[in-house]
Structure 1
Amino acid sequence: MTAVKPTKLYFASDQHFGAPTPEQSFPREQKFVAWLDEIKHDATALFLLGDLFDFWFEYKTVVPKGFVRVLGKLAELSDRGIPIYFFVGNHDLWMTDYFEKELHIPVFHDNQEYTFDGKTFLIGHGDGKGPGDKGYKRMKKVFVHPFSKWLFRWLHPDLGVKLAQYLSVKNKLISGAEDVKFLGEENEWLVQYTKRKLTQKHYDYFVFGHRHLPLQLAVGENSTYVNLGDWIGYFTYGVFDGEKFELKKFD
């Protein structure tokens, strides 16, 4: 009789590797690889909720230079039979099929629903959800349009990647102080989004990234909103063991 492996789901988001410089990013990459090394012994699945890289663009035959240790460790976990699910964020939204072909990691561009041990989850990066942020929502529609990607693809990678990295590092999510403050439930767009979703369907857990602030809030009866924080200043991650969801810090 084959023993059934107990549920142990891991969640992480917003590593922003490559920012603000490759040299400054490297210690964080090493820390993340050490975490992956630790969880590979009991993980039944790993969910990466976007912005793994501060910038990512896939030309037809070229991907950004670097991140070898991170990609190699993800390949190792995948080869061990651990399912990995990747949700694109606003910094790596131009990801297409490289992860799927090279690492056997499915890539999702929007929220997905799952049920584990009788608990329902809605999982995604979280950008562009909820009320407000209309400027970003308009900008995202432009960025993800096939014509925009076609235009960018005509830039030589040395120019295109350098330009995109410069603009990406200027993003307030990597450098600002706004995201270390809890704004109150009425001003947290993802909280408002989860409450609206609950009027349509019950979910036990909403798990998102993007916010960069570790949060675990009750948003309804037997319903919890979790934001995973980041791997810039918090080094936090989520764990679901089949009964409860916890936010933890990796030291």
Structure 2
Amino acid sequence: MVLFVSDMHFGRGARSAERKKEAALIECLKAHAADIDHLYLLGDVFDGYIEYRHLVPKGFVRFQGLLARWTDRGIPVTYLLGNHDPWHQDHFSKELGVTLIPDALETTHLGHRLYLAHGDGLAADPPRSWLRALLRHPVPVGLYRSLLPADVGLGLARWVSQRLHDRDEEDPTTPARLRAQAHRLLRQKAVDGVILGHGHVPALDRGPEGGYLNTGTWYERQTFARLDGEGLHLQRWNGARAQDIESVPL
């Protein structure tokens, strides 16, 4: 069994609300621990994340501890960076054993070829694509880290994240653009499934080319996805167990 979860946006709200959101995710993952073969974090795990050479943002250590325990047990965890959390360095890889992927990934599980990505690169129009490339280029990122103290740099990034990026995610056309791009990828890359986040609206459908799934948001709906021998499942955590929303074979 493979799990996919995205858009936790840890750090977005008040501390008490964030602690509950983290605890719910940990309980959900623990409930699947006996059967899981791979966990994918499909971006925007954090609402704003900048890692420095000797400093990492504090908070959410319980979630990070679970990832470390899983990778220590040999359960692979792969983290595809999103538009809110692209500025990782090596903390997750060296300390937690998590594989970091800066963009998209093609992989195979249970005999099915999958295309995985956060989805912001697929949904962006030309101006936003330019901004995305700038914010991921090593030169401006290096200057940002060097010229601003960590507290100022992280605080500014979170302020911009809330005011700039959220406008993209509230765009009502984003889910439709992601679906259209997913079906284009199914045709062009001959994959069996495309799994994305970013759209903040859970979706699952199957066309003649294959299946498309959007995990929705953990921070709002606590939705996530599962791949097993029967196909793709869109699910919601109700606080005690996972409930099926919809399923399609691959």
Q: How far is 1:24 from its partner?
A: 2.9
Deviations 1:36-58 (A, max 9, x none): 22121211111110110111111
Instruction: Determine helix, strand or coil for the equivalent of 2:189.
Output: coil
Q: Is 1:168 aligned to residue 161 of structure 2?
A: yes
Which structure has greater helix proportion? 2
Q: Is 1:243 aligned to residue 230 of structure 2?
A: yes
Q: Is 1:212 aligned to residue 204 of structure 2?
A: no
Distance change >3 Å, CA 27–CA 175, structure 1 → 2: farther
Q: Is 1:147 aligned to residue 135 of structure 2?
A: no
Distance change >3 Å, CA 118–CA 126, structure 1 → 2: same
Instruction: Determine helix, strand or coil for the equivalent of 1:58.
Output: coil
Question: Retained in 2: the 8 A contact 1:169–1:175?
Answer: no
Q: How far is 1:73 from its partner?
A: 1.1
Distance change >3 Å, CA 171–CA 41, structure 1 → 2: farther
The one-letter amino acid paired with 2:224 is Y
Using the alignment, how far apart are the partners of 1:171 and 1:37 within structure 2?
34
Using the size of structure 1 for normalisation, the TM-score is 0.87
Using the alignment, how far apart are the partners of 2:88 and 2:102 within structure 1?
9
Distance change >3 Å, CA 48–CA 174, structure 1 → 2: farther
Q: How far is 1:206 from its partner?
A: 0.3
Q: How far is 1:171 from its partner?
A: 4.3
The within-5 A match list for 1:88-103 is 88-103=81-96
Distance change >3 Å, CA 176–CA 108, structure 1 → 2: closer
Distance change >3 Å, CA 46–CA 174, structure 1 → 2: farther
Corresponding residue for residue 116 of structure 2: 123
Question: Retained in 2: the 8 A contact 1:211–1:227?
Answer: yes
Q: How far is 1:178 from its partner?
A: 4.3
Using the alignment, how far apart are the partners of 1:140 and 1:177 within structure 2?
17
Using the size of structure 2 for normalisation, the TM-score is 0.88
Corresponding residue for residue 226 of structure 1: 213
Question: Retained in 1: the 8 A contact 2:5–2:40?
Answer: yes
Percentage of identical aligned residues: 35
Question: Retained in 2: the 8 A contact 1:217–1:224?
Answer: yes
Using the alignment, how far apart are the partners of 1:177 and 1:198 within structure 2?
26
Using the alignment, how far apart are the partners of 1:127 and 1:61 within structure 2?
29
Using the alignment, how far apart are the partners of 1:16 and 1:242 within structure 2?
30
Q: How far is 1:61 from its partner?
A: 0.5
Question: Retained in 2: the 8 A contact 1:116–1:242?
Answer: no
Question: Retained in 2: the 8 A contact 1:88–1:108?
Answer: yes
- In structure 2, runs of 5+ residues without a counterpart are 239-250
Corresponding residue for residue 16 of structure 1: 9
Using the alignment, how far apart are the partners of 2:166 and 2:34 within structure 1?
32
Question: Retained in 1: the 8 A contact 2:42–2:82?
Answer: yes
Corresponding residue for residue 125 of structure 2: 133
Question: Retained in 2: the 8 A contact 1:13–1:237?
Answer: yes
Q: Is 1:199 aligned to residue 187 of structure 2?
A: yes
Corresponding residue for residue 245 of structure 2: none
Question: Retained in 2: the 8 A contact 1:75–1:103?
Answer: yes
Please, which of 28, 35, 40 is the counterpart of residue 28 of structure 2?
Answer: 35
Q: How far is 1:82 from its partner?
A: 0.8
- In structure 1, runs of 5+ residues without a counterpart are 1-7
Using the alignment, how far apart are the partners of 2:205 and 2:230 within structure 1?
17
The one-letter amino acid paired with 2:101 is F
Instruction: Determine helix, strand or coil for the equivalent of 2:218.
Output: coil
